[in-house]
Structure 1
Amino acid sequence: MTAELRVASPSAAQRILTTIALVLAILGGLGTVAIMAMINLDVIGRGAFSTPLPATAEIVSASIVSIVFLQLPYATASGRAVRSDMVIGRIMARSPRAALLMDAMNHLVGTIMLAVLLRYIWPEIESAIADRETVGLYGVFTLPRWPFVLAVLAGCVMTCVVYAMLTVNLFRAAFQTERHP
């Protein structure tokens, strides 16, 4: 059951959140293309010219976490986050209300987990900026660390908001659903 099926007609706020989540997913996709290009340039540089692209491993490792968090809000909003649809589908066939409540609880736990994660990400941004932390190889090629951590924060905030919105929608739908005999 996808998020689109959970809400008969999404509100303006839900459409805006989904659009923002889509923009973040597109940025994550562009980041994926960028690191693929970087890895290919590194391989070609090593093989053809015996000169690797500096700091490739460090930049790719910093980018991957950012990319995952940039794509997480849209995956969640579109019902593609990891969960067991088979169990919920079987329960839905017998008791739509029970399935909706189970799904709502799943999303509530997701909301809480993302909120806890946010508590730990925020100090990382402060530290990255205050300490002028970098990724890369000192003396060869470095980038500031804060944009990577900021991307994680943006994705985490948006995913938390999307989870909260879906939680409310699912609880609302559960209590508006009639019981089957």
Structure 2
Amino acid sequence: MRFKSGAKANLLSRFISGMNLLGAGWVLFLVVLINFDAFGRSFLNKPLAGAVEIVAISMTMIVFCQLGDTIRLGKLTRSDGYIQGWLDGGRSYGRWIVAGFELLGVVVMSLIAFGTLPLMIKAYERGQYIGTRGVFHFPEWPIKAMIVFGSLVAALAFLRRAVRILRGRLAEDGLGERVPMQESQP
């Protein structure tokens, strides 16, 4: 099956959005888990075993599930005023500078992925886990796998943004349009 480049981009966008939805669903699961744990601690004097570990594990999982969509939408923290200065007036070097930052994001996310990969393999081979045996324990490798996978997806999102910026599709990615600042009310 052959895709047009737009179809590939749309498939990537849908996949990244699906990962974001998974992360949001996990947050909802955590809300329910924490409430059950609080109820158990307060009224039954019996906390849920592993609730603390699950919450700690989940923070990493949620971040790497939602990072790609944050990048795709251009919502990652950045200095828009500084970037906008390079883009104003139609200067071509501004696009190259902004695309360079996006490519730097590709490098950083790739370093995270490939730096975590050996740790994931080691955790799998050694059977490392989080928690206390007999109470609650969870294998470490799925967490590391999510870091590797989420970092690679984030690198793809950065790469896609860089290509779109260099092609002049700035407005579609949240760049190239000046957004008026709202004045704060006293």
Q: TM-score, normalised by structure 1?
A: 0.84
Tell me whether 1:25 sits opposite 2:20 in the alignment: yes
Higher relative contact order (CA 8 A, sep 6+): 1
Find the residue that maps to 1:18 and give its secondary structure: helix
Deviations 1:87-127 (A, max 9, x none): 12233223442332221011011011111111111112212
Find the residue that maps to 1:14 and give its secondary structure: helix
| Residue number in structure 2 paired with 1:168 | 163
| Residue number in structure 2 paired with 1:106 | 101
Root-mean-square deviation (CA, aligned residues, Å) is 1.7
Find the residue that maps to 2:168 and give its secondary structure: helix
Q: Determine if contact 1:54/1:137 at 8 Å carries over to the other structure.
A: no
Aligned pairs (5 A) from 1:18-167? 18-167=13-162
| Residue number in structure 2 paired with 1:14 | 9
Q: Which amino acid aligns with 2:106?
A: T
Find the residue that maps to 1:139 and give its secondary structure: coil
| Residue number in structure 1 paired with 2:175 | none
Q: TM-score, normalised by structure 2?
A: 0.82
Q: Which amino acid aligns with 1:108?
A: L
Q: Which amino acid aligns with 2:94?
A: A
Deviations 1:104-162 (A, max 9, x none): 01101101111111111111221221111222222112222222222222211100111
| Residue number in structure 2 paired with 1:3 | none
Deviation at 1:56, TM superposition (A): 1.5
Overall identity of the aligned pairs, in %: 24
5+ residue gaps in structure 2?
A: 170-186
Q: Which runs of 4+ in 1 moved over 3 A?
A: none
Find the residue that maps to 1:135 and give its secondary structure: strand
Q: Which amino acid aligns with 1:45?
A: G
